[in-house]
């Protein structure tokens, strides 16, 4: 997706070196339609420059800082030297992510989607998320609920979610805990089964994978896979709490701990 209009002063932009002259470098901006900037020789690199070509080459992808924008003369002044390595890597990754999101939009709505339709859908997502990539990533993690506040119709939401689920690689974390469940009553076995069923939960969010397995009496393992540690830890503690509540209501006891007991090794 390329933006219409002009970048803002201070913004970092990705561009491709189009022309090298004795006084500087002309750069085609990759993120803006039909937009070109000039990086003066003094802004190409620090120190005295004898030959600009020692620092950049035609066709090279660069990250530059926008120094000034004059829409009247249609001139954009850029600086390559004012971008440090961390900023360069971060901006390039952001740009690559948006290229991926652009491809996903085509997959979701077809190559024949009009520019107006594309812009309408993209702007709706951007009203809720900082980037299109963020919108697709959240759709992959949370499904339809991630887009419930986005001004899109049901078919459009489903198209984004389906495409996201098939194409977005979502980072997940795993956490594990244990719960000791004891119930001395006559129906203890059934009560423990009910407690374990409660631990697994009936309304666990779809982005969370939760599994309860037997380790060795009276210990059971709870494994949680989730998009981030905070979500995973909360789901783990909630699962243990549900099991504990059920077993205690039946006259038993439940004790949650993070490490496996040594006598179970």
% of the chain beyond a pLDDT of 70: 97
Residue pair 65/22 in contact (Cβ under 8 Å)? The answer is: no
Q: CATH assignment of 173-264, given 3.30.70.1130, 1.20.58.760, 3.40.50.720, 3.20.20.70? A: 3.30.70.1130
| CATH of the domain spanning 12-82 | 2.40.50.140
Report the pLDDT value the prediction gives residue 5, as an integer from 0 to 100. Answer: 85
Q: Each residue of 30-60: pLDDT tens digit?
A: 999 889 999 999 999 998 888 999 999 999 9
96-111 average pLDDT score = 92
262: pLDDT strictly greater than 60: no
Report the pLDDT value the prediction gives residue 188, as an integer from 0 to 100. Answer: 76
CA 85 vs CA 68, 92, 121, 170: distances in Å: 22, 11, 34, 26
Report the pLDDT value the prediction gives residue 186, as an integer from 0 to 100. Answer: 67
3-state secondary structure at position 192: helix
**CATH 3.30.70.1130 in the chain, residues?**
173-264
148: pLDDT strictly greater than 80: yes
**CATH 2.40.50.140 in the chain, residues?**
12-82
264: pLDDT strictly greater than 60: no
111: pLDDT strictly greater than 90: no
131: pLDDT strictly greater than 60: yes
Residue-by-residue DSSP string for 78-108: EESTT--HHHHHHHHHHHHHHHHHHHHHHHH
β 36-40/61-70 pair status: unpaired
Q: Each residue of 157-211: pLDDT tens digit?
A: 999 999 998 998 877 888 999 999 998 876 778 899 999 999 998 888 878 999 9
Instruction: Give the pLDDT band of residue 245 (cuts 50, 70, 90).
Output: very high
Instruction: Give the pLDDT band of residue 88 (cuts 50, 70, 90).
Output: very high
Report the pLDDT value the prediction gives residue 265, as an integer from 0 to 100. Answer: 43
CB-count burial class (<10 Å; 0-12, 13-18, 19+) for 88: middle
Looking at per-residue pLDDT, the higher value among 53 and 229 belongs to 53
CB atoms within 10 A of CB 249: 12
61-81 average pLDDT score = 94
CB-count burial class (<10 Å; 0-12, 13-18, 19+) for 176: middle
CATH 1.10.150.190 for the 87-167 domain, yes or no = yes
**CATH 1.10.150.190 in the chain, residues?**
87-167
């Amino acid at each position: 997706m390329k933006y219409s209009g002009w970048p803002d002063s201070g913004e970092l932009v990705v561009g491709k070196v189009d022309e090298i002259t004795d006084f500087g470098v002309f750069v085609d901006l990759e993120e803006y339609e039909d937009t070109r900037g000039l990086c003066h020789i003094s802004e190409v690199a620090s120190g005295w420059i004898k030959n600009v070509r020692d620092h950049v080459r035609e066709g090279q992808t660069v990250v530059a800082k926008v120094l000034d924008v004059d829409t009247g003369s249609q001139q954009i002044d850029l600086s390559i030297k004012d971008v440090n390595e961390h900023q360069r890597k971060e901006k390039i990754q952001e740009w690559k992510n948006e290229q991926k999101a652009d491809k996903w939009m085509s997959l979701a709505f077809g190559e024949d989607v009009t520019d107006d339709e594309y812009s309408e859908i993209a702007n709706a997502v951007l009203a809720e998320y900082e980037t299109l990539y963020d919108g697709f990533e959240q759709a992959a993690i949370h499904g339809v609920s991630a887009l419930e506040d986005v001004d899109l119709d049901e078919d459009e939401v489903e198209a984004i979610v389906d495409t996201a689920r098939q194409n977005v690689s979502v980072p997940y974390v795993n956490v594990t805990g244990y719960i000791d469940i004891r119930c001395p009553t006559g129906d203890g076995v059934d009560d423990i089964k009910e407690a374990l069923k409660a631990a697994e939960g009936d309304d666990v969010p779809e982005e969370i994978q939760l599994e309860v397995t037997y380790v060795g009496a009276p210990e059971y393992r709870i494994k949680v896979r989730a998009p981030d540690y905070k979500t995973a830890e909360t789901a783990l503690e909630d699962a243990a709490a549900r099991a504990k509540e059920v077993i205690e209501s039946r006259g038993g006891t439940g004790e949650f701990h993070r490490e496996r007991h040594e006598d179970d090794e």
